[in-house]
Structures are given as C-alpha cells and as structure tokens.
C-alpha cells in the first residue's frame, strides 16, 4: 500500500478532513463540528480524533498531516499566531506540539486559502500553468500566488491577501482595519446583504418567490437563480460586485503578469455572469501589456482545493525549505 497523508481544513463551523495518497486519491474523508467556543485545546483534540477515526477506517497511519487554518500561523514551529474569527484568537497555540506526538506523524500548518492555492498547484490548474493567482471567494476573500511553479509564502507565509486590497478609498470599514477592501464588495455576505435589501424593498420579485419570502434562505446560489429568472436589480448587483472583483484582478495581473487567475469558493459558482464581467474589466484596465493570453478560470478542484491542498502540504513537508524567513 502507498504511504498515506492526511489533511484537515479548520473552518469557523466545520473541520473537514481527508486521507489520500501522494497523487491526491482520497481513501477516507470525514468532518466534525468545530465548536470553537470550547477553546483551542478541545478543537485541536477534535482534529486529532477525526484523523484517528479516518486512519482506523483506512487501516494505516498517515505519514504527515497538513492543516489549513483561518488566519496566520508560524510555519516553522507549527503554532497558530492569530485566527481573528475564532474565540480567544488562538495566539501561540502549539497545534503541532499537541498533535504530532498523539498521531505519531509530522504536522504542518498553513493559512487555509494559501493551502487551497497549493491544492490547485499540485492537483488542478498547476499541472499545466506555472504562474497564477488564486482568489477564494467565500465568507471572506483570500488568495494565494504561485510563481514559477511555487507557492509564494514570503516572510510570514502571508503573500496573497488579495481580498484586502483597497478598491474604494472612501469605502466601508473592513474587519482587517482598512477601509474599502475588495472583500467588502464580493464576499458571500456582501452579496447576500444587498439581495436581502433588494428583496425587502420590493425590487427582487423572483428572488422573493424562490426563497418564499424567507430572507434567511437568501444566498449566492439563489441570487444567481433570481438573476437568470429575470430579476434585473439582482443581476445588476452581481455585475457591480463582479466589477469590483475585476478591478482587484486587474491590479493583480498588472502587478505579477500571471498566465491565469483562478476563481474559487462559493461565489465563483455564479458562473458566466461573474467571469465574463471580470474578463471585461481586465480588458479595460490592464493596459501595460496584452491580456489576450491571460485566462480567468474556475478552480478545477471546486470545494476540494482546500482538503487536497492539505495533502500537498503534508507531502511537501510544509514547504519549510521554501520559506523566506530568516
């Protein structure tokens, strides 16, 4: 049997884990609730239990475990530094120190979206493209940058915070402390909030029909359906948000001249309306070099980019030799 690797994606509500071989063939998968209010020790313990359960199922202990976390980690020591959305913010939690002895394998940490970009590099578009930027469009907006076939990490493993570039100098305040960040315009919650407003002010009749008046059911998916069914205002809201994303993508292209921009996460499910708008804005706003050969494409891995990224992280021993840290 080939050696197995493990991956865990720590989210605000769920922990998703897989066991796979080096080629990314998944042999076991499972999930557990995060229950972050119980604190870091309980949550890390649940990651351990989840991996043990999957190992039993697969009949093999993984060689290494890659964990994606929603924030910053010290990649060398395997400690979390700052997880802004989890209770206690997880400052200096020794995740590797707790899990490596228990599981009997190496443990590596990385920001969850950088890890998804690594998944795309190892098992998705990265098989044919050596220079790309990855946008994860979800509850928040994160990113990762791959140049010359390598995920770029930088001094803190923090290269690629694409969602926190300023789009509007006078915009709303962002959770990061800046104002007018891209995330405020193209995240799932931003789109949903605008649709709820349209629905409640009588400007989204199709959407109202689809969710049967229940604003709790409004999400990006039903927004797309309402736009396709003829809700012009909902369609316009999606186009406006996509134009903001287009500006961010154009900035990225002008800065690093990649071969491709990969759009992942739930918001990317809006499909052609989103992608065509972004392509149009890129054509208008990138003027320093031709853009005809730069592709804007959906992730090849969909919601598996994160889990498979964890496998790639485990296989590549946390990319420790690629860090710029002194």
Residues that bind Zn ion (CB under 5 A): 164, 174, 176, 178, 181
CB of 302 to Zn ion, least distance (A): 26
CB of 318 to Zn ion, least distance (A): 27
CB of 164 to Zn ion, least distance (A): 4
Distance CA 123, CA 198 (A): 40
Nearest CA to 241 out of 273, 200, 209, 283 is that of 273
Residue closer to Zn ion by CB (options 131, 178) is 178
Q: Which residues does 166 contact at the CB level (< 8 Å), separation at least 6?
A: 178, 179, 180, 181, 182
Helix (H) or strand (E) segment spanning residue 108: strand 106-111
CA 5 from chain center: how many Å?
21
CB of 267 to Zn ion, least distance (A): 16
Residue closer to Zn ion by CB (options 53, 178) is 178
* Cβ neighbours around 280 below 10 Å, total: 14
Residue closer to Zn ion by CB (options 124, 142) is 142
Residue closer to Zn ion by CB (options 27, 174) is 174
CB of 156 to Zn ion, least distance (A): 16
* Cβ neighbours around 37 below 10 Å, total: 10
CB of 263 to Zn ion, least distance (A): 19
Give the DSSP letter of residue 121: H
Residue closer to Zn ion by CB (options 60, 174) is 174
CB of 157 to Zn ion, least distance (A): 18
Distance CA 27, CA 174 (A): 40
Angle, in degrees to the nearest 10, between helices 220-229 and 188-200: 50
CB of 64 to Zn ion, least distance (A): 33
**DSSP assignment of 129-182, as one string?**
-SSEEEEEESSSEEEEEEETTEE--TTTT-TT-GGGSBS-TT--B-TTS-BSBT
Nearest CA to 260 out of 291, 216, 218, 238 is that of 291
38 φ, ψ (degrees, to nearest 5): -80, -10
Residue closer to Zn ion by CB (options 79, 168) is 168
Task: Using alpha carbons only, give the angle 300, 313, 17 rounded to the nearest 5 degrees.
Answer: 75
Residue closer to Zn ion by CB (options 176, 325) is 176
Residue closer to Zn ion by CB (options 134, 275) is 134
């Amino acid at each position: 049997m080939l050696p197995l690797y493990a991956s865990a994606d720590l989210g605000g509500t769920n922990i998703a884990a897989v066991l796979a071989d080096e080629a990314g063939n998944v042999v076991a998968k499972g999930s557990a609730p995060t229950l972050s209010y119980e604190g870091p020790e309980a949550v890390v313990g649940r990651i351990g239990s989840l991996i043990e359960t999957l190992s039993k199922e697969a009949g093999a202990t993984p060689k290494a475990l890659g964990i994606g976390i929603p924030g910053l980690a010290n990649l060398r020591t395997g400690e979390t530094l700052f997880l802004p959305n989890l209770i206690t913010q997880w400052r200096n939690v020794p995740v590797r120190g707790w899990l490596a002895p228990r599981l009997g394998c190496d443990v590596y940490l990385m920001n969850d979206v950088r890890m998804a970009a690594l998944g795309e590099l190892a098992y998705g578009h990265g098989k044919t493209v050596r220079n790309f930027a990855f946008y994860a469009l979800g509850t928040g907006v994160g990113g990762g940058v791959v140049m010359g076939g390598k995920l770029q990490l930088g001094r803190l493993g923090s290269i690629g915070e694409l969602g926190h570039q300023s789009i509007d100098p006078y915009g709303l305040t962002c959770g990061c402390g800046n104002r007018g960040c891209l995330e405020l315009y193209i995240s799932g919650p931003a789109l949903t909030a605008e649709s709820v407003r349209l629905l409640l002010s009588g400007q989204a009749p199709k959407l109202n029909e689809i969710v049967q008046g229940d604003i709790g059911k409004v999400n990006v998916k039903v927004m797309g359906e309402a736009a396709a069914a003829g809700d012009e205002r909902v369609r316009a809201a999606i186009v406006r948000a996509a134009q903001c994303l287009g500006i961010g993508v154009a900035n990225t292209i002008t800065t690093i001249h990649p071969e491709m921009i990969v759009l992942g996460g739930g918001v990317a499910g809006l499909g052609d309306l989103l992608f065509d708008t972004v392509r149009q804005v890129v054509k208008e706003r990138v003027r320093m070099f031709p853009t005809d050969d730069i592709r804007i494409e959906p992730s090849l891995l969909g919601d598996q980019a994160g889990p498979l990224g964890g496998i790639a992280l485990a296989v590549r021993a946390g990319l420790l030799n690629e860090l710029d840290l002194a």
